[in-house]
Amino acid sequence: MAFQKTLKDKVIFSGIGLHSGKEVSMTLRPADAGTGVVFHRVDLTPSVSIEARAGNVVNTRLSTTIGKSGATVSTIEHLMAALTGCGIDNVHIDIDGPEVPIMDGSAAPFVRGLREVGTRVLNLPKKYMVIKKPITVIDGDKKISIIPSRYYRISFDMRFNHPVVNNQFKSMKFSEEGFEKDYAAARTFGFLIEVETLKANGLARGGSLDNAVVIGDEGILNEGGLRYQDEFVRHKIMDSVGDLSLAGHSFIGHVKAYKSGHDLNHKLVTEILARTDCWKLEEAADTSGAPAILPLPSPELAWSKA
């Protein structure tokens, strides 16, 4: 049986918030089975606990923000992607500010820290949302769908009208190893021409060449260049992994995104949760010893109705 996981011990991450520009520290600690991912704003009196679920999303402008009782935590997508990529279902996150630290602009620092502390298997089976019927959300010229599949896959078609950023397409068949190797290190990116406007509107105050890929009119401004030739679309897929995890369960389905972002990702999750006729919660009976995050890698992994 594929069981839920949590951390073996606590792990601490500290850094600056990309949009707030404020220093923040957060401590991730083990949680019981069935807890999910819960943020605790420990800098507030009394502290406020916010479950990382789609129903608590309050803002999707340039990042994903969750909130409850007037308290918020923003830019959660990279950390959520790292937790998903490491197969961690349950964790408490004590955070002393309003935004998850941006680290180097990717999920890689979180993945490294989580791998170092390790995971512990819990006593409840891991459940998956198995997509049975297609679901599509359209917003203008943007579109995102999820269709039935034997695996969790994300295909992303990215389009930008900029000489440096060409149209990029990539498809990822999700696995812990593949995510860590090929997607976790892809950094957030932005255009130099937009930086002053963003800062004037209270955004990107903590942004720098140390935590984002900055695109000028004639090239990439970062001294080391790109980590991957198609780093931009890899980052979009990484963001999607984090955003879609707010459904509360891993998917067995193929997500197809065209020019999507945090807002459309959230709308898809909301639509999926509302369309209960299009999916079933099922748990995997794993007789092969394969990682729980790898649905149906071989005929040895059979499905049983939860």
Residues annotated as part of the active site? 262
* Rounded Cα–Cα distance for residues 228 and 180 (Å): 14
DSSP-assigned beta bridge partners for residue 173: 153
* Rounded Cα–Cα distance for residues 12 and 110 (Å): 10
3-state percent helix, strand, coil for the chain, nearest multiple of 5: 25, 35, 40
**36 closest CA partner among 1, 82, 14, 5:** 5
**Which 3 state secondary structure label does DSSP give 59?**
strand
* Rounded Cα–Cα distance for residues 224 and 228 (Å): 11
* Rounded Cα–Cα distance for residues 237 and 75 (Å): 15
